[in-house]
A and B are shown apart, each in its own frame.
Chain A
Amino acid sequence: MSHLISLQADVAKITEDAWQFVALPPSQQEVRKQAGKVVLFKLTGEQTVTPEQIAGTLIPANGKVMVPLTVFIARKTELQARIDQQEAGVWLDTHESLADLSQAQADLNALPIIAVHVERFADGRIFSLGTLLRSRYGFKNELRAVGDVLRDQLFFLKRSGFTSFAIRTDRSATEAIASLNDFSQPYQGAVDEARPAFRRYNR
């Protein structure tokens, strides 16, 4: 059973995933600790990917691929033909920079998909990244949340411009769908509905 929820014309459906998620090979990085505690979140802008990892990333020769931002930037020439055929997309981590993406790819709408990978569900940077991709960078194609994606964040992800959600595989996507509609009349404007309640209704 697929764990992917897609919004199509505002209707949520469980769909088969057409995209292959290309992961980076594991790094040799040590576990960072602060005051005896493992550091759970990476700092925004922190460089975490090594040239060896970028070079060592295996990109499947066929089919649609979503590649890590660092690989996309460093190996763009190699990917160009597939980008032109709408068979390559990109994913970035919540600590990575949209400016880097936009510098490497001026026309984001040439990409059929962008995904934001959230390592831990409590990392709310994903909401700002989605919002910026839609409102600042004008991205119009599929925007997907991947990683630690759980039902109780879906409503916020949808409002932040995400249109597909790869629910963590140990959870039911079928049950999660309900939470996309936890609230029917949100107060503030956001990506999915730019008008706040006071502009939508004569209150």
Chain B
Amino acid sequence: MYKYDEIDQSLVDERVAQYRDQTKRYLAGELSDEEFRPLRLQNGLYIQRHAPMLRIAVPYGMLSSKQLHKLADIASQYDKAYGHFSTRQNMQLNWPLLEDVPDILAELAKVEMHAIQTSGNCIRNITTDQFAGVAPDEVVDPRAMAEVMRQWSTFHPEFALLPRKFKIAVSGTKQDRAIVQAHDIGMEFYLDAQQQLAIKVWVGGGLGRTPILGTVIREHLEWQHALTYCEAIVRVYNLHGRRDNAYKARIKILVKALGIDEFKRQVEDEWAHLKDAPNTITEAELARVAQHFEPMPYEVLAQHDASYDAAIASNPAFAAWAKRSLHAHKIPGYRAVTLSLKTHGQAPGDASSEQMHAVADLAAQYSFGELRVSHEQNLILADVKLSDAFALWEKARAQGLASPNVGLLTDIICCPGGDFCSLANAKSIPIAQAIQMQFDNLDYLHDIGELELNISGCMNACGHHHIGHIGILGIDKDGSEWYQVTLGGSQGNQASLGTVIGPSFSAEEMPHVVEKLISVYLSERNGEERFIDTVRRLGIAPFKAHVYADKNAAKAEVLA
């Protein structure tokens, strides 16, 4: 993974000093709340329901064992000994003291980490596929370009105070796993007809209050121009995006208002001036960064491993876990392994300091000392030998990190919700926990098969509810918490936004509502058909009818 040189290190060190001074001035009353707000936000510090929340950047989801040990230590020393991994592949601390944040940042800087631009109206952490570099369907490893773009976007002076937050995702696979269509800018890397690295650029996607999938603004962009082309897009947005209404300030609203043709014309006009400017990426720079992402020193192994096959045959619990948690790898005899942070009954995405230390050790022992955070809020060891899988499983299981539910209904994506977040309309973690307990029977869970259930506590959609096969959105009705259900959303190349099935439900009703949706699927599915495919084939009508049958019957009784 990328290692800092002196330039990178001086920048994060100077950031610590700058933020220490800003915090000091705020505490001394020299900065007003309003003036301090964008400063602390651009350092990932929110003022939350109970305490501040600090969001630490994990660029494109990559962590080393050393870094994860440090995160665990910070969580122990400055927080309640746990952290929350977010859908933007970052890590959040829920209970730090505002006064301690400069010290936390200084600790992070020691392991080449920071909290720069993890919030605020600026370019946020760039995200990508958690299987980058190891996925068999990968055409281009996107991480070197993601790092080049991270550096470009860090303290970009022209884009320091945008109308609203700005999210970029990059992907280099046949099957998109970075949801590029749900980002302000999505960059899809591919090899063109001349076998040159090229980029398909998407713009104006986003979830939140007004969910919209992005539109292609350019089918073919030579990689050298990635930064200047983004500058053209963000400049048009910076000048013309709406600042008068926060709900209409994202670039997607500007793109819709102008229409993609006019927006593209303005961007191309800008780009005509920016093209070939010094920010054009050089071959040497891409090569310099790419050498940090060279393939690991893999052993030459057979496709199969006898000890692994024997363990699968003799141990059903291991087999059930392996079926869900092991993912195909480019190199024979290796697998990527997901460690689930979705143990039933625990807050999705949370990891204790003890678990973090354990995962860091597992990564050091079995996966070249590196790991990744996925936007599904799990941790991935990307380079595990098949022959090590059983030993890894036993150790992970002892730490509660081996729930065999990856990709299944209880692998719920969930924001911190009303328990922590001051933006939330409703709690989300207890809903996730109640659903996990409702579906605690493993055989049943595996029978239901692949299903993505996403929960957000408000329309800001941190839990990506719009693209869940089942999406749950917390809403506020006259001061009480209700939940709206959508069906048919999905990520990937066939990304789609879910459709609301009808009136919202109370928290108590939710596990039962999900159960009813599942029962319709189980009775209607054809053979191996996945939940999402059944929804696409039948539409929402039969699901809706069954879920609301009781309610309608009750209403009919009252009317009679």
Q: B299 contacts the other chain (Cβ, under 8 Å)? A: no
Number of A-B contacts (CB under 8 A): 123
Report if A40-B278 is in contact (Cβ < 8 Å); known contacts: A127-B157, A187-B151, A198-B285: no
Cβ distance B165 to chain A, nearest Cβ, rounded Å: 12
Which residues from 68 to 127 on chain A have a C-beta closer than 8 Å to any C-beta of chain B?
A: 121-125, 127
Interface residues of B in 229-252 (CB under 8 A from A): 235, 238-240, 242-245
B7 x A185 contact (CB < 8 A)? yes
Chain A's closest residue to B31 (CB) is: A152
Task: Give the number of chain B interface residues (Cβ < 8 Å).
Answer: 44
Known: A128-B158, A182-B14. 5 other contacts (CB 8 A): A39-B245, A127-B157, A127-B238, A131-B158, A190-B156
Question: What 1/0 mask marks residues of chain A from 40 to 59 whose CB sits below 8 Å from any chain B CB?
Answer: 11111000000000000000
Asked whether A155 is an interface residue with its Cβ less than 8 Å from the other chain, the reply is: yes
B interface footprint on A139-164 (CB within 8 Å = 1, 0 otherwise): 00000000000101101111110000
A13 within 8 Å of B by Cβ? no
Assuming the contacts A128-B235, A203-B288, asked whether A156 and B157 have C-beta atoms less than 8 A apart, the reply is: yes
User: Does chain B have a CB within 8 A of A194?
Assistant: yes
Contact B14 A40 (CB under 8 A): no
**Is the C-beta of B346 less than 8 angstroms from some C-beta in chain A?**
no
Residues of B within 8 A of A121 (CB): 35, 161
Q: Decide: A42 and B244 in contact? CB cutoff 8 A.
A: yes
Distance of B45 from chain A, by nearest CB (Å): 14
Interface residues of A in 158-203 (CB under 8 A from B): 158-160, 179, 182-190, 194-199, 201, 203
> In chain B, what residue has the closest Cβ to A185?
B7
Cβ contact of A127, chosen from B39, B154, B161, B240, cutoff 8 A: B161
Q: Which residues of B contact A189 (CB under 8 A)?
A: 277-279
A160 touches B39 (CB 8 A): no
Shortest beta-carbon distance from A123 to chain B in Å: 7
Inside 8 A of A197's CB, which chain B residues have their CB? 7, 151
Please tell me which one of the listed residues A39, A128, A159, A201 contacts residue B239 in the complex, with CB atoms under 8 A apart.
A128
Whether B278 pairs with A194 at a CB distance below 8 angstroms is yes
| A127–B288 CB distance below 8 A | no
CB <8 Å contact, A124 and B161:
yes
B244 touches A160 (CB 8 A): no
User: In the complex where A196-B278, A198-B285 touch, is A190 in contact with B243 (Cβ < 8 A)?
Assistant: no
Q: Is the CB of B161 within 8 A of A188?
A: no
Minimal Cβ-Cβ distance residue in B for A43: B244
Is A182 in contact with B18, judged by CB distance below 8 angstroms? Answer: yes
- Residue pairs across A and B with Cβ atoms less than 8 A apart, 25 shown, are A40-B244, A41-B244, A42-B244, A43-B243, A123-B161, A124-B238, A127-B158, A127-B159, A152-B22, A152-B39, A156-B155, A156-B157, A156-B160, A179-B18, A182-B14, A182-B18, A184-B14, A186-B11, A186-B157, A187-B7, A194-B277, A194-B278, A198-B285, A203-B7, A203-B285
Known contacts A41-B244, A124-B162, A125-B238; A187/B157 CB under 8 A: no
> Do B278 and A195 touch (CB < 8 A)?
yes
Residues of B within 8 A of A201 (CB): 7
What is the minimal beta-carbon distance from A31 to any residue of chain B, in angstroms? 13
The answer to whether the Cβ of B5 comes within 8 Å of any Cβ in the partner chain is: yes
**A34 interface hit (Cβ, 8 Å):** yes
Contact A34:B245 (CB < 8 A) given known A156-B157, A199-B278: yes
Knowing A152-B22, A156-B160, A189-B277, say if A128 contacts B244 (CB, 8 Å).
Answer: no
Q: Is B38 an interface residue (CB 8 A)?
A: yes
Binary A-proximity of B495-529 (CB < 8 A = 1, otherwise 0): 00000000000000000000000000000000000
A203 to B245 alpha-carbon distance, docked (Å): 43
Residues on B with beta carbons closer than 8 Å to the beta carbon of A157: 157
User: Are B227 and A185 within 8 A (Cβ)?
Assistant: no
Complex: how many Å from CA A43 to CA B35?
A: 22
A42: which B residues are within 8 A, CB to CB? Answer: 244
Q: Are B159 and A124 in contact (CB under 8 A)?
A: yes
| Chain A contacts for B7, CB-based, 8 A | 185, 187, 197, 201, 203
Asked if B282 contacts A198 (CB within 8 A), the reply is: yes
Q: Which chain B residues border A199 with CB–CB below 8 Å?
A: 278, 282
Which B residues are CB-close (under 8 A) to A34? 244-245
Report if A188-B156 is in contact (Cβ < 8 Å); known contacts: A122-B38, A183-B11, A198-B282: yes
Report the Cα distance A41→B163, complex, angstroms: 10
- Tell me the complex Cα distance, A48–B158, Å: 25
Residue of B nearest to A32 (CB): B244
Task: State the CA gap A32–B244 with chains docked (Å).
Answer: 10
Alpha-carbon distance between A155 and B7 when the two chains are bound, in angstroms: 17
How many angstroms between the C-alpha atoms of A136 and B494 in the bound complex?
41
Question: B160 contacts A196, CB within 8 Å?
Answer: no
Indicate if the CB atoms of A43 and B151 lie closer than 8 Å.
no
The residue on A at minimum CB distance from B281 is A198
Judge whether A128 and B154 touch: CB under 8 Å: no
Which residues on A sit within 8 Å (CB–CB) of B121? 122, 124
Q: Which of B11, B22, B282, B284 contacts A187 (CB 8 A)?
A: B11
Nearest A-chain residue to B236, judged by Cβ: A128
Tell whether B273 is near chain A: CB-to-CB under 8 Å: yes
Q: Inside 8 A of B5's CB, which chain A residues have their CB? A: 203
Taking CB atoms and an 8 Å cut-off, the chain B residues in 258-308 that contact chain A are 273, 277-279, 281-282, 284-285, 288
Q: Return the contact of A184 from the options B10, B235, B285 (Cβ within 8 A).
A: B10
Within the complex, the shortest CB–CB distance from B37 to chain A, in Å, comes to 9
Contact residues of B between 448 and 490, Cβ < 8 Å to A? none
Docked complex Cα distance between A107 and B288 (Å) = 43
Q: Which residues of A contact B11 (CB under 8 A)?
A: 183, 185-187
Which residues of B sit under 8 angstroms from A39, Cβ to Cβ? Answer: 244-245
Judge whether B157 and A159 touch: CB under 8 Å: yes
Q: Which residues of A contact B31 (CB under 8 A)?
A: 152
A residues less than 8 Å from B155 (CB atoms) = 155-156, 183, 186-187
- Whether A188 contacts B239 by the Cβ 8 Å rule is no
A125 lies within 8 A of B288 (CB): no
Q: Least Cβ distance of B323 to chain A in Å?
A: 44
Q: Whole-angstrom distance between the alpha carbons of A199 and B39 in the complex?
A: 29
> Chain A residues with Cβ under 8 A from B235's Cβ?
128, 131
Tell me, in angstroms, the Cα distance from A201 to B5 when the chains sit together: 11
Q: Chain A nearest CB: distance from B271 CB in Å?
A: 13
Please give me the 10 A-B residue pairs with the lowest Cβ-Cβ distance, nearest first.
A124-B161, A159-B157, A41-B243, A198-B285, A156-B157, A187-B151, A189-B278, A156-B160, A127-B158, A185-B7
